[in-house]
Amino acid sequence: MAIYQLPEWAALAPALILALTGLVLFLVDSISPRSTNRTLLAGTAAVGALASLAVAVWFTAAGVGTPTMDGGEGVIEIFDGQFVVDQLALYFTIIVAIVTALIVVASYDYLRDHTYQAEYYSLVVLAATGMATVAAANSLVTIFIALELTSLPSYALVAILKDNRGSVEAGLKYFLIGALSSAIFVYGISLVYGATGVLQLDSIATVIADGGADGFGGLLGLGILMLLGGIAFKTASVPFHFWAPEAYEGAPAPISAFLSSASKAAGFVIAFRVFNVAFPLEEIGGVIGFDWTVAFVVLAIVTMTLGNFAAATQENVKRMLAYSSIGHAGYALIGLAGLSADGGELVMGAALMHLLVYGFMNTGAFLFVALAEHWGVGRTFEDYNGLSTQAPVACGAMAVFLFSLAGIPPFGGFFSKYFLFTGALEAATANPAMLAVAAALVVNSALSLYYYSRLVKALWIEEPPATRERLGQPTGLYAAIVVAAVMTIVILPGFGPVAEAATGAAEALIN
Amino acid sequence: MMIEALIAVALIGALVTFVAPNRVAGKLAFAISLVPAALSLWMFTAFDGSGNALLDGDLAFESHLEWIQFGDYSIEWFVGLDGISLPLVVMTTILCSLAILSSWTPIDRRESQFYGLVLFIEANLIGVFSALDFFVWFIFWEAVLIPMYLLIGVWGGPDRKYAAIKFFVYTNVASLLMFGSFIALVFGLGDAATSFALPEVADAMVNGGGVQSSVFGIDPGTFTALVFIALFLGFAVKVPVVPFHTWLPDAHVQAPTPASVLLAGVLLKMGTYALLRFNFTMFPEQVATYAVPIAAVAVVSVIYGAMLALAQTDLKRIVAYSSVSSMGYVILGLIAYTQFGVGGATFQMVSHGLISGLMFMSVGVIYNVTHTRSVEEMSGLADRMPIAVGILVAGAFGYMGLPLMSGFHGEFTIFFGAFQADFAYAPLFTALAMFGIVIVAGYLLFALQRTVFGPYHLETDYDVGRAPLHDIAPMFVLLALIIALGVAPELIFDMITDAVDPILNGGDL
């Protein structure tokens, strides 16, 4: 028995800690506006992110959000169900907090000579707050608000290198397309509201099940498609992926890592929650006249194929990683494509696992690019030639990330892709189209090995150019990269608990 | 926990070496590698083969832990050794130590990374030979690729990039094929297998009747046959058998000496070991059905590999192609499916590992001193470097199967077993394969006669003298082992046959 029962809103603690950290950073900035005390700023942000991570892990371990019948503490609903803290929310909060901590540590060196340091860190932490809130949001309105809280700092962060034309242009592009997609998303919300009269996700499902939306099938269907469009933008899925390579390339590399890992995960949590909770497959087909998993099957195949083919033709490392992250969005979409009326926990759980592993390996890969930018060695594959002679540890870590992204053992990416594959095959018994998805996954993974190994070859096998200055060893960047690499490997022996948490979260969501 | 200790020492050693300064890396790596070598030798003496069967019984040094549960299938940390894998593990650890010692002279840049990768390979090779869960095994299997790719690509000869990529693509595609077909098999087994543990799958295949119902609309017989063929092809690339052998000479010739030693000594055995563990243990009926074509492939590998070796003028290429030929013998022994055949094949894996390691080291030492490997440029080397050349000649005799050396026992038992085999024309195939011995003797004597004997003549500006002790010492160790196994093959042959018998008898000891 607890001596002191925490109030219910304390379940949002991981997100609240992040928000508080953002405010503390603002406070520091207003007390001493010109401060460039990087240690204080980065340290505060890192401590906040790690505290949030610790609380989220503690909650998960303590069984918060496990359905009561499994012997857990029960799903916690806050503010009349506007927010729920369940295993899915905690799972994604963990991903966001991990990535945020890595980014913040890595930015310590990256931002050495940049202005607006306090603003940078507080924006990062605020965007992370938005992502953590998205994970727990259970109503279309809270989702939208949390999404905007994620997006607005992101626009600013992409453009934070004010003197760099690429950065400003990328920020503008990102903002314009982001605003458009927000408009589409919110319009979708209004259509769904028009058809059902409610905004809370579980209420929408109830209304649909009770036949309350029967006359508005077309309206509801259009609304769902528009929501899908908004999500496709957030997750950088085809056909709303065009902004991603531009934004990732122009943004400071740690921010590219942040957007392509954490922000993308936030997009997926919306998709997973909205489509599972609000539009359950058993009833929705009869009302709107189509099965939305078909849309995800197509989206998954097209996204992964297009992302990988585009990545294979890039000359610029950062763009290659950007397109490859589009490809990985396609892999994660398999989780939704594999759902069917009688389940899909496995494939959904596999998608969750992939997003967690991806959080380490993709962040790490972009942080290596950040390191290369810090060194000023250039951006193309050729510029990376022979870096391993000067920085073997970082290049070893980069090889780990790349081989893991390609899905080669003994790294984490191998298992998450394998589970996606078996999950897809499992789902194929209910939906034969999943065989095509599974095949596309294998073909694309094989293709991806080509361009990932090309970078490994540049780093390790090609000779370095004769004239290259000595490379520094920035502590923060190195620390973040090494931690990410170690986690990409260590996650493999620890895959048991990860698989348990992920399938648990998926089961809780689907049932 | 002994196997875990072996792997852990090598892995941690790899990390330590990777970040150590270049100056001390070689000595450090050698010192570290002595630990697994000593441990594995201790395991060899402490080995208890009584429960020794993959199909039926517990393996020595077994450990079995829950790892991941996903859907209906579990993945487990499951390792153990029997009379087949233990000699291979011992050979691996010894060969790795010697390979490290033999790299001190030729490796002169980025040493810490080089030795770190060698130790990393060692850890994974031990894993390959001891893992009993398919996933654990596959992780080790694939993890060998990346460091070998880098060893060839970074420290190799002039065409290293081409050779490294060819090696990587060939073996990786083969791995994918094998991986997919084995996973399909486990799913096809349905309720008979709830994990990827090799003993469980093997038991379900041999004693459980195999695949019972149609899979993906393919009837069980065809499905099993397809899996068998796909697995065979997947492993055949690694062995390699003709016509999948073309990556091997490229990789060997470009690789630095120690990588060649490991490649020929241990990596090729991964293929035949996997064939034995998967195809020949799990599919006895298919083995009988496809015996003739497989025997034909084996004989072609023996003869064609030897003829290719005969046509080479590069000493290293000769040794490289001769591996194709020797591995053909191993396949022939396996397909014979008799006690002597399979036992001899396993013995030959160890024996060929030692002999080819020795040959590559001698060629490496000669190259270190003369800076050429061309048979046409060298003559009368015996005058200048008698010890190294003496060992080369001894190794060549081992290769030809001189009695009292390990090669003789391996080849003799294989031929003996193959003559007894059940499949059609077995004696004919065996006789054809035995003709390979003549060609082997031909190309080795031909090469030796031109390079080693006769008046000294060499077109090089280098001062040709004796090799340093740390180059010669590992070759002496290998030669001692080759002779020891030749004189007293029962050192390992008994434990091998103890483990082979249950495979041939469907699990009964």
Residue B220 burial (10 A CB sphere; 0-12, 13-18, 19+) = middle
Contacts of B214 by beta carbon, 8 Å cutoff, 6+ apart:
B220, B223
Interchain CB contact of B110 with A (< 8 Å): yes
R_g (Cα) of chain A, nearest Å: 22
| Selected residue with higher pLDDT from B14 and B53 | B14
Least confident interval from A334-343, A373-382, B18-27, B495-504:
A334-343
Element (H, E) at B77: strand B73-81
Interchain CB contact of B108 with A (< 8 Å): no
- pLDDT, tens only, B86-106: 999 999 999 999 999 999 988
For the record, the structure tokens of B390 come out as 């003496």
Nearest CB among A408, A423, A495 relative to B68 is that of: A495
Handedness of CA A122, A125, A130, A136 (dihedral sign): negative
Q: B143 to chain A: which residues are within 8 Å by CB?
A: 409-410
Nearest partner of B171 among B147, B140, B145, judged by Cα: B145
Q: A389 to chain B: which residues are within 8 Å by CB?
A: 110
Nearest Cα of chain A lies from the Cα of B22 at a distance, in angstroms, of 12
What residue type is A489 in one-letter code?
A: I
CA distance B387 to B366: 11
Q: DSSP secondary-structure letter at B266?
A: I
Mean pLDDT of A110-119: 82
| C-alpha dist (Å) from residue A458 to A149, A384, A388, A453, A454 | 39, 6, 9, 8, 6
Per-residue pLDDT band for B207 (boundaries 50, 70, 90) equals confident
Nearest chain B Cα to A463, which residue? Answer: B154
Whether the link from the prior residue into A7 is cis, omega within 30° of 0, is: no
CA distance B117 to B192: 40
Number of neighbouring beta carbons within 10 Å of residue B376: 11
Q: Give the CB-side neighbour count of residue B379, counting CA atoms within 13 A.
A: 8
- pLDDT, tens only, B420-468: 888 889 999 999 999 988 999 999 998 888 888 888 877 766 666 777 8
R_g (Cα) of chain B, nearest Å: 22
Interchain CB contact of B316 with A (< 8 Å): no
| C-alpha dist (Å) from residue A330 to A119, A297, A333, A402, A444 | 33, 10, 5, 18, 10
Interchain CB contact of B218 with A (< 8 Å): no
Cα dihedral A390, A396, A401, A403 in deg (nearest 10): 120
Nearest CB among B113, B143, B165 relative to A409 is that of: B143
- Chain-chain contact of A409 with B67 (C-beta, under 8 angstroms): no
% residues pLDDT > 70 (chain B): 97
- pLDDT, tens only, A11-46: 888 999 999 999 999 898 888 877 677 888 889 999
Per-residue pLDDT band for A3 (boundaries 50, 70, 90) equals low
Nearest chain A Cα to B112, which residue? Answer: A392
User: How far does chain A reach from its first CA to its final CA, in angstroms?
Assistant: 29
CA distance B32 to B115: 11
Q: A449 to chain B: which residues are within 8 Å by CB?
A: 172
- Chain-chain contact of A415 with B68 (C-beta, under 8 angstroms): yes
CA distance A15 to A53: 10
Per-residue pLDDT band for A255 (boundaries 50, 70, 90) equals very high
- pLDDT, tens only, A149-173: 999 999 999 988 888 888 888 999 8
Do B422 and B317 touch, CB atoms closer than 8 A?
A: no
Which residue carries 């996954």 as its tokens? A441
Which residue carries 């953002």 as its tokens? A22
Beta strands in A147-209 (DSSP E): none
Tell me what the pLDDT averaged over chain A comes to: 88
Nearest Cα of chain B lies from the Cα of A410 at a distance, in angstroms, of 5
Do A302 and A330 touch, CB atoms closer than 8 A?
A: yes
- Chain-chain contact of A499 with B140 (C-beta, under 8 angstroms): no
Nearest partner of B235 among B128, B147, B313, judged by Cα: B128
Chains A and B form CB pairs within 8 A to the count of 73
Nearest CB among A409, A423, A493 relative to B142 is that of: A409
Nearest partner of A150 among A28, A18, A10, judged by Cα: A18
Do B33 and B122 touch, CB atoms closer than 8 A?
A: yes
- pLDDT, tens only, B227-244: 999 999 999 999 888 888
Q: B150 to chain A: which residues are within 8 Å by CB?
A: 460-461
- Chain-chain contact of A453 with B67 (C-beta, under 8 angstroms): no
Nearest Cα of chain B lies from the Cα of A493 at a distance, in angstroms, of 8
List B residues 39-98 in contact with A (Cβ-Cβ < 8 A): 66-71, 73
Do A166 and A249 touch, CB atoms closer than 8 A?
A: yes
For the record, the structure tokens of A42 come out as 């980065």
Nearest partner of A95 among A155, A52, A149, judged by Cα: A52
Nearest Cα of chain A lies from the Cα of B464 at a distance, in angstroms, of 30
CA distance B241 to B264: 13
Find the length of chain B. Answer: 509
Nearest partner of A119 among A226, A244, A29, A36, judged by Cα: A29
Interchain CB contact of B142 with A (< 8 Å): yes
- Chain-chain contact of A392 with B146 (C-beta, under 8 angstroms): no
- Chain-chain contact of A422 with B70 (C-beta, under 8 angstroms): yes
Nearest Cα of chain B lies from the Cα of A27 at a distance, in angstroms, of 42
| C-alpha dist (Å) from residue B485 to B101, B398, B405, B407 | 22, 11, 7, 9
Q: DSSP secondary-structure letter at B458?
A: E
Q: A496 to chain B: which residues are within 8 Å by CB?
A: 66-69
% residues pLDDT > 90 (chain A): 43
Count helices and strands in chain A by DSSP H and E runs: 21, 2
Nearest Cα of chain B lies from the Cα of A113 at a distance, in angstroms, of 30
What residue type is A56 in one-letter code?
A: A
Res A1: pLDDT: 43
Number of neighbouring beta carbons within 10 Å of residue A271: 23
Per-residue pLDDT band for A285 (boundaries 50, 70, 90) equals confident
CA distance A152 to A161: 16
Res A72: pLDDT: 59
Handedness of CA A306, A309, A312, A313 (dihedral sign): negative
Per-residue pLDDT band for A437 (boundaries 50, 70, 90) equals very high
- Chain-chain contact of A442 with B180 (C-beta, under 8 angstroms): yes
CA distance A304 to A440: 8
Nearest chain B Cα to A432, which residue? Answer: B216
pTM comes to 0.90
Nearest CB among A389, A409, A499 relative to B139 is that of: A409
DSSP bridge pairs for B79:
B63, B131
Does position B51 have pLDDT exceeding 80, yes or no?
A: no
% residues pLDDT > 70 (chain A): 97
For the record, the structure tokens of A474 come out as 């920035």
**H-only helix segments in B337-468:** 339-370, 386-400, 406-419, 426-451
Question: What is the three-class DSSP state of B64?
Answer: strand
User: How far does chain B reach from its first CA to its final CA, in angstroms?
Assistant: 26
Least confident interval from A239-243, B35-39, B99-103, B316-320:
A239-243
Nearest CB among A399, A419, A460 relative to B70 is that of: A419
DSSP A98-163: HHHHHHHHHHHHHTTT-S-HHHHHHHHHHHHHHHHHHHHB-BHHHHHHHHHHHHHHHHHHHT--TT
CA distance B398 to B486: 9
Nearest CB among A409, A457, A503 relative to B138 is that of: A409
Do B414 and B344 touch, CB atoms closer than 8 A?
A: yes
> Crossing angle of helices B111-130/B134-143, nearest 10°?
150
Which residue carries 């650890």 as its tokens? B93
CA distance B485 to B410: 10
For the record, the structure tokens of B342 come out as 């399979």
Q: Which residues of B420-449 are buried (b: 16+ CB within 10 A; e: fewer)?
A: bbebeebeebbebbbebbebbbebbeebbe
Res A47: pLDDT: 93
Number of neighbouring beta carbons within 10 Å of residue B404: 14
Nearest chain A Cα to B146, which residue? Answer: A403
Interface predicted TM-score (ipTM): 0.86
| C-alpha dist (Å) from residue B476 to A30, B42, B43, B339 | 75, 21, 23, 32
Residue B49 burial (10 A CB sphere; 0-12, 13-18, 19+) = middle
Res A19: pLDDT: 93
Question: What is the three-class DSSP state of B112?
Answer: helix
For the record, the structure tokens of A113 come out as 């000579």
Whether the link from the prior residue into B240 is cis, omega within 30° of 0, is: yes
Res B274: pLDDT: 95
Element (H, E) at B327: helix B315-336
B457-458 and A76-78 strand pairing: unpaired
Number of neighbouring beta carbons within 10 Å of residue A215: 11
Number of neighbouring beta carbons within 10 Å of residue B371: 13
Does position B53 have pLDDT exceeding 90, yes or no?
A: no
For the record, the structure tokens of A301 come out as 């195949």
Do A124 and A258 touch, CB atoms closer than 8 A?
A: yes
A76-78 and A83-85 strand pairing: antiparallel
What residue type is A478 in one-letter code?
A: Y
Res A163: pLDDT: 82
